[in-house]
Amino acid sequence: MTTPIIALFNNKGGVGKTSLAHHLSAMFAELGQRVLAADLDPQANLTSAFLDEDRLEELWSGEGPGQTIFSAVRPLKDGTGDIDKVHIEVVAEALGLIVGDLTLSTFEDELSQQWPKCLDRDPRAFRVITAFYRAIRDAAERHRASVVVVDVGPNLGAINRAALIAASHVVVPVAPDLFSLQGLRNLGPTVRTWRQEWVERAAKLPPRLSDMPIPPAGTAPVGYVVLQHAVRLDRPVKAYRKWVERIPEIYAQHVLEQPPRPGVSIESDPDCLGLIKHYRSLMPLAQEARKPIFQLTVADGAIGSHAAAARDVGRAFRELAETVSRKVGLAIPART
């Protein structure tokens, strides 16, 4: 089976996308999957969630090729060659990381310029547009990954287009507010357009590149995750309810191109993968420890109510990881 590459994407920032990528990657590993997390966000927030500043400084100032995703694609940007083999940072035994890099933003113009040239069967254009896919695929094979989780920035630019083309699946984090729902309205048509345009371009792959791996036509929607919702008795508070109630309709209409489904709530919507609380009091502990909330220990300050809340987070993310696994065809380990 082809390794699923799951991108987490919403063009509205601040919905908890990177936190979701961090926690989902770690939970997949806890469930027995071999996981590759890929940070394709030029802000490199997923990388900073995993690694401390000392290690980041080593990687960002390293002399060796391929220490970060940018150094892997830099030969293409500079016109000196094709991609370098990207470094895999071992976060845990079953969890590897393709390290993000703020300099990745300088690759945006190159990706934008080469996109239309694929229609002219330009070999260099295809090498540039498929750079992320080929770097991820090679790293996944070396890591023996069973699943790849990709974090991207909150925009509709050329970097995200290349990242979404590289992905086989997309999970959409949403928050129950007007801005996040507007992001859904933008995201659905844009991703469909990118997918359709890539199909058109892939058909024009030059024969001389026939052996080069390119992304298949895909990027299938997996569903959405409601994040950072305020809760009272495990239910969204009244102030957020009107936005929560609109999520299934807007997701179906704008992401799936399906008619509205009257009476469908997020609790009954098969496209709702899960509801994740914010757990604000635990986030500083997790950020300081560079680990997901559910891995916090007494030594990290997770005692008393914090320890109980960390266990709740673990249960929520286990359920989410199992649901996503079923959706993308991963084997689900038996509960122990």
**What domains are there in the chain, each with its CATH number?**
5-327 (3.40.50.300)
**Other beta carbons less than 10 A from residue 92's beta carbon:** 15
Nearest to 72 by CA among 123, 130, 151: 130
pLDDT at position 90: 96
Count of other CB atoms within 10 angstroms of residue 109: 11
pLDDT of 242 reads 83
What pLDDT does 233 receive? 44
pTM of the model: 0.93
Give me the amino acid identity at 229.
H
What is the spatial distance between Cα 66 and Cα 83, in angstroms, rounded to a whole number?
Answer: 9
Q: Which pLDDT does position 107 carry in this prediction?
A: 97
Helix (H), strand (E), coil (C) string for the chain = CCCCEEEECCCCCCCCHHHHHHHHHHHHHHCCCCEEEEECCCCCHHHHHHCCHHHHHHHHCCCCCCCCHHHHHHHHHHCCCCCCCCCCEEEECCEEEECCCHHHHHHHHHHHHHCHHHHHCCHHHHHHHCHHHHHHHHHHHHHCCCEEEEECCCCCCHHHHHHHHHCCEEEEEECCCHHHHHHHHHHHHHHHHHHHHHHHHHCCCCHHHCCCCCCCCCCEEEEEEEECCCEECCEECHHHHHHHHHHHHHHHHHHCCCCCCCCCCCCCCCCEEEEECCCHHHHHHHHHHCCCHHHCCHHHCCCCHHHHHHHHHHHHHHHHHHHHHHHHCCCCCCCC
Instruction: Please enumerate in sequence order all residues whose Cβ is within 8 A of that of 302, keeping only pairs 6 or more positions apart, or say none.
Output: 282, 285, 296, 310
Instruction: Provide long-range contacts, Cβ within 8 A and 24+ apart, for 197-202.
Output: 198/165, 200/119, 201/115, 201/118, 201/119, 201/126, 201/129
User: pLDDT 10s per residue in the chain (336 long)?
Assistant: 589 999 999 887 777 889 999 999 999 999 999 999 999 999 999 999 999 999 998 898 865 556 999 999 999 999 999 999 999 999 999 999 999 999 999 999 999 999 999 999 999 999 999 999 999 999 999 999 999 999 999 899 999 999 999 999 999 999 888 888 888 898 899 999 999 999 999 999 999 999 999 998 778 999 999 986 555 444 556 667 788 889 999 999 999 999 877 889 898 999 999 998 877 678 888 888 888 888 888 887 878 787 888 888 889 999 999 999 999 999 876 655
Beta-bridge partners for 92: 95
The pLDDT value recorded for residue 63 is 59
User: What local confidence, expressed as pLDDT, does residue 11 receive?
Assistant: 81
Integer Cα distance of 223 and 256 in angstroms: 10
